[in-house]
Amino acid sequence: MGALLAKEAATDIVIVGGSAIEIYSSGIYVSTDIDLVGERPSIIKALERWGFHREGRLWSRPDLGLWVDPVGRFYTGDVGRLRVVSTPYGSVRLASVEDLIAKRLIETKVWPGGGTELLGQAVALAAEYQDEIDWDYMSRVAAEDGAEDLIPELRRRLAPARTRTRTPRSG
C-alpha cells in the first residue's frame, strides 16, 4: 500500500513503526495499522480519495480492515540508512532496522505495560538482522531518549539465538 499511496499522494513516503517491522519480519509480527512519514496533507487527501475516514489520529477503511497513521512529515532517523523496497506498484522506503530497534527500546522504557511485547519485537528484529546492524549508531539513537541501558539486555537475549544458529564445522 505504501508504494501505491506514494504515487497517489505524489510524495515520498517512509514506512515506519510496526508496519516496517512487519515487512522486515516477513509478517511474523503483524501491525494493526500502517505508520507513514511523509507530506501529511498530500497523504490525507489521497486517503480521502480512496474512501478512508478519520477516526482520531488514524484514517480507516473498515471494509478493508485498514488503518493508516500518517505520523509525521519528517523521518527522525538517518535518511541515509533507509531501505528501498521494490514492489509491483513501485518503490517504497522503510525505516532502518537500527532506528526501528532503537525506537522499540525507547518505547519499552516509556510505555509501561507494553515493554515485554516491544522488547520482544526489538529482539526478534535484531536476531534477524544482527550481522547487518550498526550497533554504535543504534546505541546512540537509543541513548538520545535514555534507553541505552537496554542494549546489553538486547545483546544478552541474542546470544542464545546466535549459538543455536551456528552450523558446526566439519573436518
> Is there a single domain that holds both residue 72 and residue 129?
no
> Is there a single domain that holds both residue 66 and residue 116?
no
The per-residue pLDDT for 30 is 78
Domains held by the chain: number: 2
| Residue the block writes with cell 543504534 | 138
pLDDT surpassing 80 at residue 159: no
> Is there a single domain that holds both residue 67 and residue 82?
yes
In a domain, residue 106? The reply is yes
> Is there a single domain that holds both residue 60 and residue 122?
no
The per-residue pLDDT for 126 is 92
Q: What is the mean pLDDT of the chain?
A: 86
pLDDT digits (tens, 9 = 90+) for 38-88: 999 999 999 999 999 999 989 999 998 899 999 888 998 999 999 998 889
> Is there a single domain that holds both residue 51 and residue 108?
no
> Is there a single domain that holds both residue 149 and residue 68?
no
Residue type at position 122: A
Residue 170's contacts (CB-CB under 8 Å, 6 or more residues apart) are none
pLDDT surpassing 50 at residue 166: no
Q: Which residues of 88-112 are buried (b: 16+ CB within 10 A; e: fewer)?
A: eeeebbbbbbbbbbbbbbbbbbeee
Q: Are the C-beta atoms of 119 and 105 separated by less than 8 Å?
A: yes
Q: Tell me the residue range of the domain where 117 lies.
A: 97-165
The per-residue pLDDT for 18 is 87
Residue 152's contacts (CB-CB under 8 Å, 6 or more residues apart) are none
